[in-house]
Structure 1
Amino acid sequence: MAAPAVEGVAVTALRSVLLRVRQAAERAGTQPERVRVVAVSKTKPVSLIRQIYDAGHRCFGENYVQEFVQKAPQLPEDIEWHFIGHLQSNKVKTLLGGVPNLAFFQGVDNEKIANHLDRAVLSLERNPLKIFVQVNTSGEPSKSGIDPSGCVRLAEHVKLHCPHLEFSGLMTIGMPDYTSTPENFRTLSKCRVEVCKALGMTEDQCELSMGMSGDFEQAIEMGSTNVRIGSTIFGPRDYSKKQPN
């Protein structure tokens, strides 16, 4: 009987998050429906994801390929799936073949992975995959993402040389303790200005994915159109079965 109680808590938490997102958007003068809430369900069971789905949410994110391809087929096809983070090039076909309804790839951090994704989309004859270029705004050597100075070049590569990908925006992952949050967010916003100028896009055409459980309200107030919420909705994660990408 314990599982339903946990799942009920998650649904309540989701509703609280959605309310906070709406309030943050209103403070920022942004239409709340323009902010996408990605419920990051890594390490969580299919049954719990299904409860959030049944509560009306349709946008979910995963980080680990093997876990992702096992869970996605057990869930409804109308879910808008996001892959978040770094991916090894030899896992690209496994991911795209195993999750046909993958809508967004949040984590292109070099030309090689962009090229592999482009070829895989073509070979699988699937719809173009929406891409967010990952920028390392905190400068941590251990973190994936291209240096801000290279974001324009990588965005240009995706847009001009990967016809089966759709450049959709920029994403970043700040420091775990959130101490660099304002600086990270400002850096990504500056990157968007540069990318839009180089590619002839309006800023509305280039989304920003920034903000997680500890700072999503501030992220929205600073222009984020995607927030990635995991533990605040689902509770603490169990990393004992973590699988590398």
Structure 2
Amino acid sequence: MAAAAARAGRAGRPPRLVAVSKTKPAEAVREAYEAGHRVFGENYVQELADKAPLLPQDCAWHFIGHLQSNKVKALLEAVPNLALLETVDSAKLASKLDSTVASLGRPPLAVFVQVNTSGEESKYGVEPQDCLALARHIHEQCPHLRLAGLMTIGMPDYTSRPENFRCLADCRRAVCAALGLQEGDLELSMGMSGDFEAAIEMGSTNVRVGSTIFGARQYPAKA
């Protein structure tokens, strides 16, 4: 990560590393914690709700999976140290998050707008042309949320093409211009195990790495 940041002229400013512990036990997360890491990511509400209470409260959790509106309260109640929700993909979800944060008396929650930069029907996220409308809704209509950046997911093999990364950067430029923000005000969350170096070189400030850290994911065998 440091080498990729240096190649991009960002020496000394590597992006945040989110260690994604999907399907891995709390003990594996604790091992990373004891090695000094603090930022972890999960894809599923129940898995995060089960895991977070078993680990130190100074873990900064990122939720990086698709979130249904009816699971918002369960997530926010179970994980008081949820630092960032990376996958807001509709005004409905944003409004539900906003009202729930308010009702629980939590401080404003940092969120990213998820953008489908690859055009795949299987991917969640707003289309690039709809990114600004959602970002504006969060910024102007959701006082209990903080618009912190934009996020995208790579191709099916967890790699992204350069045009996917360029698309997200273009979305950020458009959002910042329209909302009167500086580009430095909004992060770019892009890059996973297969493409994090390329993502950093193209401006990512937040990479989500799982299997490279924790090993291959282990899913339950199907009956």
User: TM-score interval w.r.t. the shorter chain?
Assistant: over 0.9
Q: What is residue 157 of structure 2 aligned with on the other side?
A: 177
Quote the offset at 1:240 in angstroms: 1.8
Quote the offset at 1:179 in angstroms: 6.2
SS in 2 for 1:239: coil
Choose between structure 1 and 2: higher helix proportion.
1
C-alpha change, 1:209 and 1:124, in structure 2 (3 Å) is: same
8 Å contact 2:24–2:214 — kept in the other structure?
yes
C-alpha change, 1:220 and 1:110, in structure 2 (3 Å) is: same
Of the three residues 2, 9, 16, the one matched with 1:36 is 16
TM (norm. structure 1) is: 0.88
Instruction: For 1:186, give the aligned amino acid.
Output: R
TM (norm. structure 2) is: 0.97
Quote the offset at 1:239 in angstroms: 2.3
Instruction: For 1:54, give the aligned amino acid.
Output: E
Distance, in Å, in 1 between the alignment partners of 2:14 and 2:188 is 11
Q: What is residue 228 of structure 1 aligned with on the other side?
A: 208
Query: What is the RMSD of the two structures over their aligned residues, measured on CA atoms?
Result: 1.4
Superimposed CA distance per residue, residues 75-112 of structure 1 (whole angstroms, 9 cap, x where no aligned partner): 00001110002101010000000000001000000000
> How many residues are paired up?
222
C-alpha change, 1:158 and 1:54, in structure 2 (3 Å) is: same
Superimposed CA distance per residue, residues 36-77 of structure 1 (whole angstroms, 9 cap, x where no aligned partner): 000000110011100000000000000111111010001000
8 Å contact 1:43–1:241 — kept in the other structure?
no
Matched, 1:168 2:148: yes
C-alpha change, 1:73 and 1:180, in structure 2 (3 Å) is: closer
Q: What is residue 182 of structure 2 aligned with on the other side?
A: 202
Q: What is residue 57 of structure 1 aligned with on the other side?
A: 37
SS in 2 for 1:204: helix
Quote the offset at 1:174 in angstroms: 1.6
Unaligned runs of 5+ in 2: none
Quote the offset at 1:177 in angstroms: 2.9
Instruction: For 1:108, give the aligned amino acid.
Output: V
Distance, in Å, in 1 between the alignment partners of 2:209 and 2:160 is 18
Unaligned runs of 5+ in 1: 1-20
Matched, 1:123 2:80: no
